[in-house]
Every structure is written in C-alpha cells, then in structure tokens.
Structure 1
Amino acid sequence: MSIFLSCGEASGDYYVAKLAARLRQKGFSGKMWGLVGPQSEASGVEKTWSMGELQLMGIGEVLSSIPRLFSLKKQIENRIIQEAPRAVVVVDSPDFHLRLLEGLRSKGYGGKVVYLCPPTVWAWRSWRVKKLRKLCDLCLPLFGFEHQFLSERGVKSLWVGHPFLDEFDLNSRFFPSFDPEKKDKVIGLLPGSRPSEVNKIFPVLLEVAHKLELEGFVPVFSIAPNLSEEMKDYVRSRSRPFEAYSGPGAELIERSDAVVGASGTVAVEALLRKRFMVVLYKASWSSWLAYKIFVKTPWISIPNILAGKMVFPELLQKNATASAVLEHLLPYLKDSAYRGKVHEFMDRACDKLGRPGALDLWAEEVLKGVER
C-alpha cells in the first residue's frame, strides 16, 4: 500500500513535505514515493526521481527537453501501474502532470487522483478545466478565488485557507514596526529558486545592492536551498562583499525591512510577514509573448490579485532595472504616510488568505478511501 507524490518546484516540494508529515500524523504507515525534492525526502518520501527533472523556465527550454520529459513520463506511468498506489497526488507543473494523469487514466489507473496547487486556469488556458474534471477526483487550490473558479465550473474542489497559515498565526504574530533610524536596515534580495531565473534576475539585484548600500541600507542575498551547488557558488561568489544567506528565504524575509525578488511564492511569504516587496519578472521573449497574449489578469503577483490593486510593484522584463527598483522601494522606506497606506492594503490581502487547517484538510482528503 503506497501513495505516489510528484512536484516540480521548490514551493511544491514544501507542500509535499508538509502533506507527507501530516499523513504520518494522521496514521498512514504505508510507503510514500515519487518525483520530489529535498524537503519531501527529509519528510520521509522516497525520492524515486528528482524534481530537478521538471525545473524548466521558458518555452524554448521546455521544447528542447520534450524527448527527455516524454521518456520520464513513460517511466513514471509504468512504475505507477506496476506499484498500484492507492492515491496519486501531483503538485503544480501542469504541462507535465496533466499529461502524466492522462497517460495513467488511459492505462487503466483507477486509484484516487488529487491535484494540489492545480493549474492557474483562472488566468489562462481555461480549457484545462475540462481535463481537471475528467482526470481528478479532487483539486486542492491555495486561494479562495481559485476554489470558487473551479467549483463554478464543475471541478470538485475544497479549500479552507493557505497552508502557510498553519504555521503562521496572523492574529498572534508580532510584526516589528519599521524603524528608519535603526542601524540594521536589511533589505532581502531574492533572485529565485530556478537556475534560469537566477541568471536573469541576479545581475539586476547586484546593481540594486550597490545602490542600496549608498543609501545606508544593508543588502543580503538569498541562496535558495534547492539550487545546485554550482548555482549556490555563483550567487555566493558574485554577491561579495555583500552577505549571502543560505537558510530558508522566509527567515531572511522576517529579518528584512523590505524585499526585492523574483515573482512567485515568496511574495505570499512577504505578505504574511507584512514585508513590502518589489516583484521582478524576466523571462525569455517566447514566454513573455505567451504571457502577453494569453494571461488574463492585470497582475502576476498573488498579493496584488488578492488586494485587487498594485500593492507590490511589478517590474517586468525590460522594466526590471535597478533604478526602477529604487524608485519604488525608497518611498516605502522613507515615507511613513505612504508606508501606512501600503500596509492597509496588505492587511486586506491577508484577510483573503482564509484560515488555518489546510494541511489537515489535505491529509484527510488524500486518506479517504485509502487503507491505513
């Protein structure tokens, strides 16, 4: 008796790790295995394949990897059919996972299929809703507006709140107020968790660091734990003489007065900690063209979508420059009236994250119909 789990991003690895730990707490003693990363492995999931296989960015990078990904998909399908796990749980990476689920269903897999962090059909590729209805027994989205979108279109979906809230009590958490006179004025710089992302964003952040130092602030670079040792060395060596922090990005965010970094889950972590963030997005021309043509939302950052306005400035493509970063960052750091307005909207966005209990919900739903 086993459960198969698969993820393709650092954030997905975090969710799988938390789910695996909660499954054990709920009494599941069977084997957990799949395509995962280091956090999942540390939580007791057998790493049959590495999530690094799916860490691609940009249409060009994806296209060149199609033969390898097709072979990987077939390997996983065959192994799942052979092992017959009671449940298959996939997280993010829809280009790969939807095809994997199609292959499994076509080969007769009849176990439970749960999609955690399902595709962003509310933003683009809405036709994927039909696939989610057909292939999945349940979707477990991260945000309430996603749950509403899926439910209204006939997809079985459940949601109580974002899983970060299970470890982060907004009501009791102490948020130190910003003090412009304190000596340790740290600004966290987060270049991302994927090599292609780091390569594009790090040079901008390095220029930002030099400018911030002239303004009397202390830039600290984040080195994502899931990066290869080669990429970690790249960030560490290139960021000198500035500090480079190798721990969890959330810890650096907590320590910082504000952060600048790659678009993604980190923006939600910054929102929870009431830390202002300037969001950067730089991708290949093909990915940017696809975004401009197909994506329906006015913002790329979840906090802005939750707030219904631009709370975290978004600097996209050629606009992601060091000068532009400081044009948005310095008013927040130096103008208390502006800072107060920003925090009002951050509070409103936080209110839409739901309530604690996501991890219990996830584990209980995965275990339904699965013998312990």
Structure 2
Amino acid sequence: MKLFLIAGEASGDALGAALMAGLKELVPDVTFEGISGPLMEAEGLQSRFPMEELSVMGLMEVLPKYRHLKRRIAETAQGVTATRPDALITIDSPDFSLRVARLARVGLPALKAIHYVAPSVWAWRPGRAAKMAEVIDHVLALLPFEPPYMEAAGMTCDFVGHPVATMPVATPTEAAAFRARHGIAPDAPLALCLPGSRRGEVGRLGPRFGAALDLVAKEAPELAVAIPTVRGVAALVRETTAHWSPRPVVVEGAEKAAAFAAADVALAASGTVSLELAANALPMVIGYDFNPLTRFILRRIVRHDTVTLVNLVSETRAVPEFLGEACQPGQLAGAVTRLLRDPGARENQRAAMALTMERLGRGGEPPGLRAARSVLRAIGRA
C-alpha cells in the first residue's frame, strides 16, 4: 500500500507521525511519500521540500509568498499524480493541501482523498465544509463534536481522538533535573513562553510576550522563563529573545516535555499548544493577534466568544485569552500574575483540563491507531 501525505506545520507533523506509526502497525508493507517535518521523516517519509515553507497564516502573511506557494502546489500535485497512491492524506494546512487535492484529481479523477483535522466550521466560515467536500471524501476529526458538521456537507467522518491525550508527560524527577540543568531554583516561579511555531507568529507575538513577562518579573523578581520551540523557528526565537529580561532558556526536542513539567504557568499563542499544556495540567494564559487587515476580517466572521480549545472542549471559559487588540503586554502580564498568585484559579483551570483530556480520548486506544483504522476503512482495506 502506498500513501501520499502532506503536512504543513509542526502540529500536523506530529499528527502525521502518529498516523504513520499506526498504519505501519496494521499494514507492515505500507510506504509513504509527500511533504513532512522531522517527526514524519523519522517514521519513513522523505519530504520533497522543507515543510516550513508552508507554515504561513493570515491573509497579509500569505500574499508575499503567493507565487512561491502556487509553484509548490503545482509541483506537489504533479508528485501525487506520478505516485498514483492508494490515497492522498492531507493533514491540516487546508489552504495549501486542498488546492493540491483539487489539482491532483484532474490527473487522477478516482483518487481517494482524506483530510486529517476537520476545518473549524463551528467557529467561523461554515461554508468551508461544503467547499472541502468537492475534493475530500473522508475526514479524520480531532474533536468529538465535529463529525456531524462534516457529514452534513457530504463527507464521511470519524472522531479519532486527539494525540495530545496520549502524549508523554515528564516525571517530577525529570522536571527537577531540567531546573537544575538550567540553573533554575526549585522554588523559583517558572513561566513557559510559547509565541507560536510560525515565523510570523514569533515576530508578531514574541515582543509582546517578552514585554509581558518583563512586567511579571517586576512583581515576581525570581521569575525564570523557558521557551520550548521547533526547528523551523528556533533561530528566530533565539534572536528575538536575546535581550529579554529575564533571559529565557530556549529548548528544543527532548527537553520540551521536561520544560512543561517543570513550569508553573504558561503564556502561549492560541492553537494546539493549549491542549499540550492541558495534558500537562499547566495553567495558561492565551494571547494571539494577526495583522490589522486579517484582524478586521476575522472580527466579522468568528462565531464563538472563545478560540481556546480547552474552553471549547470542556465547555467552560476557564482559560483567559487576549485576542486581537486585547493582546497587549499589560493585560497578558496581569493574567499571568493572577495565575501565579491565585491557587483557586489554577485549580479551576486544571479541572477544565482534566475534562478536556477525558473527552479527547485519554485512556482509550491511541489516536494514531484509531486514525489508521479509519483510513483503512475509508479506502476499503480494513
């Protein structure tokens, strides 16, 4: 069995790697081609070009790279056609991957197309599901309330659970070792700073998050800061934070889990990372902003009063979020400081996080394996 997979950002790379592992367990002779990051590469997919080229979000962020992305769409669609896979599996990054699927079907009209991560039609632009149904046959959903939206648009859909529900959590010993390794006292407050996995996010949010943590440090002079980051933006993160006070510890790869376990609070960009923090029961404050034009457009089409997944899945508003014009250092700092000082607020968040993990499949079959079974059913190989 031969599959062509496309992932365009770090979270998609993690989803794809878990899916590939599940498929290899069920179909030992499966082979993979496509576009991926380091986690999928470790599972056996040699990426046709660096996945980081696709990690662009927001209207004004995409425009300068439009011609290059258009070329990559055409190249990738040609690759799918030449490969003639049993299925094309696109993972998130719909602006790129669904265009590839449409072009690939010109050459392969019978191509089975599967999309991993349902579009957030419950939050904004409900018409996206119908548009996606023009080129996608089957959807793998991460959230339990998503299948009805996809099925109503004409696609089949399975809730497969979220891989974050099974992510490994570092032990207290590993957390203590992390602090010792980086010279952070056992009783010093430690804040994680997570300004995003895309270059645009780091450039836009990094300075605000840094200014916010500087304000927090004025209230908590012993504050230490750690920034877990990913390969594509690690150099930019180090450059952006070189003059921060307090000077952060920048960590990659294997140290990430220990940093999550060692921290007391997190200041994070909106996105999947909120679920990673929830898996570690780490209280958080969420901030996010686009450029002014994208912000103006989104303000008129967003359908919910929260975008934080922990709030949505738990059906609470336990996690404070500051979006758009509200994403300012003073407001972010105030919320982080309140979390550090208020045990009740931290416990309120932890209760919402525990409910979120339960609803996302914690304790059940690994989502990557569930997703693999769903793929095989969709292509008639179950």
Range with greater deviation from structure 2 (34-43 or 335-344): 335-344
| Count of aligned pairs | 365
How many angstroms does 1:350 deviate by? 3.3
Range with greater deviation from structure 2 (82-91 or 320-329): 320-329
Which structure 2 residues correspond to residues 294-313 of structure 1 after superposition, within 5 A? Answer: 294-313=301-320
1:93 aligns with 2:93: yes
* 1:105 partner letter: R
Inter-CA distance 132–173: structure 2 relative to 1 (3 Å threshold): farther
Partner of 2:369: 360
Q: C-alpha offsets along residues 187-207 of structure 1, whole Å, 9 cap, x if unaligned?
A: 111111111111111112222
Q: Alignment partner of 1:261: what SS?
A: strand
Q: Alignment partner of 1:111: what SS?
A: coil
Partner of 1:75: 75
Partner of 1:66: 66
Partner of 2:341: 334
* 1:361 partner letter: R
* 2:375 partner letter: V
Counterpart CA distance in 2 for 1:230 and 1:339 is 32
Range with greater deviation from structure 2 (190-199 or 299-308): 299-308
* 1:8 partner letter: G
State percent identity of aligned pairs.
Answer: 25
Partner of 1:4: 4
1:319 aligns with 2:326: yes
8 A contact 2:238–2:250 mirrored in 1: no
Counterpart CA distance in 1 for 2:159 and 2:199 is 32
* 1:302 partner letter: L
* 2:230 partner letter: P
Counterpart CA distance in 2 for 1:367 and 1:346 is 32
8 A contact 1:271–1:350 mirrored in 2: yes
TM-score (norm 2): 0.87
Q: C-alpha offsets along residues 281-320 of structure 1, whole Å, 9 cap, x if unaligned?
A: 0211121112111121111111111233321111123322
Q: C-alpha offsets along residues 49-100 of structure 1, whole Å, 9 cap, x if unaligned?
A: 2212211122112123222222211111112111101111101111122222
1:226 aligns with 2:240: no
Inter-CA distance 154–229: structure 2 relative to 1 (3 Å threshold): closer
Counterpart CA distance in 1 for 2:361 and 2:234 is 37
Counterpart CA distance in 2 for 1:43 and 1:19 is 10
8 A contact 2:141–2:160 mirrored in 1: no
* 1:247 partner letter: E
Counterpart CA distance in 1 for 2:188 and 2:150 is 45
Partner of 1:205: 209
Pairwise CA RMSD: 2.7
8 A contact 1:117–1:141 mirrored in 2: yes
* 1:59 partner letter: L
8 A contact 1:8–1:55 mirrored in 2: yes
Q: Gaps spanning 5+ residues in structure 2: where?
A: 176-184
8 A contact 1:303–1:312 mirrored in 2: yes
Counterpart CA distance in 2 for 1:228 and 1:195 is 6
Counterpart CA distance in 2 for 1:182 and 1:38 is 33
Partner of 1:143: 143
Partner of 2:178: none
8 A contact 2:224–2:246 mirrored in 1: no
Inter-CA distance 106–124: structure 2 relative to 1 (3 Å threshold): farther
1:158 aligns with 2:158: yes
1:350 aligns with 2:357: yes
TM-score (norm 1): 0.89
8 A contact 2:260–2:277 mirrored in 1: yes
How many angstroms does 1:328 deviate by? 1.5
Inter-CA distance 217–112: structure 2 relative to 1 (3 Å threshold): farther
8 A contact 1:88–1:114 mirrored in 2: yes
* 2:200 partner letter: S
Q: Alignment partner of 1:3: what SS?
A: strand
Counterpart CA distance in 1 for 2:312 and 2:36 is 29
Counterpart CA distance in 2 for 1:47 and 1:145 is 33
Inter-CA distance 102–247: structure 2 relative to 1 (3 Å threshold): same
How many angstroms does 1:30 deviate by? 3.7
8 A contact 1:209–1:219 mirrored in 2: no
Counterpart CA distance in 2 for 1:135 and 1:7 is 17
Partner of 2:252: 247
Q: Gaps spanning 5+ residues in structure 1: where?
A: none
How many angstroms does 1:116 deviate by? 0.3
* 1:367 partner letter: L
Q: Alignment partner of 2:351: what SS?
A: helix
Counterpart CA distance in 1 for 2:138 and 2:296 is 32
8 A contact 1:262–1:279 mirrored in 2: yes
How many angstroms does 1:173 deviate by? 11
* 2:292 partner letter: W
Partner of 2:187: 183
Q: C-alpha offsets along residues 179-237 of structure 1, whole Å, 9 cap, x if unaligned?
A: xx961321111111111111111112222332333314433231412224541431452
8 A contact 2:285–2:319 mirrored in 1: yes
